Amino acid sequence: MRCSEAVSQLQLYLDGRLSGERLPALESHLARCSHCRAELELLEEVVHHLESFQPVPEPEDLSQRIMERVALTPQQQPASIFAQLRPSPGELLAAALLATIASLGSLLTQPAILRLLPLEGSPLIGLLSSFTRLLQSMDATTLMLVCWIMGTFIGICITLLVAGEELRSRWLRAVWERLPVLH
């Protein structure tokens, strides 16, 4: 018998509910294993202390007091279906961020808007200008594919930032399990 199996049967042994071939096997293990004997002694000590406690009598009017408190507790109204559809602040922030990115992306592809911006001097504006020229040079199919990939990636990132830790870990675990094994 292994220690983990013996430890799981110690409480049954103390309660006198261990019988059959398990009883001699456990006693044989306890005779050889000092760790499990120490665990048994600890459980015996706990049982001894628990038996020495005196029960506390409950007040006679306990049930009545509980029922009065329940009656005085205000009833909660069930939430309407519209309340469940109300977005959280994180979801509103994610939607606003996606809308801002989409609006800026469409505005910065307009040549008239680009002429109004001071594009000289700032490396960030220069990079943005190069990026918009690259987008303008693409054909419509490639541009749609790039926008779809970027939008999906940004949406996934924002969703994972807004989602709770449990949902995020389940999603990452599912993605990880689906990745092909590289040999």
- Domain chopping of the chain, boundaries: 3-52, 88-178
Report the percent of the chain where pLDDT is more than 70: 85
Residue 11: Cβ within 10 Å count: 14
Bigger pLDDT: 65 vs 111: 65
* Listed residue (26, 32, 19) closest to 1, CA to CA: 26
Taking residues 6-16, what's their average pLDDT? 88
168 vs 160: CA distance, rounded Å: 6
* Listed residue (101, 76, 98) closest to 87, CA to CA: 98
183 pLDDT exceeds 60? no
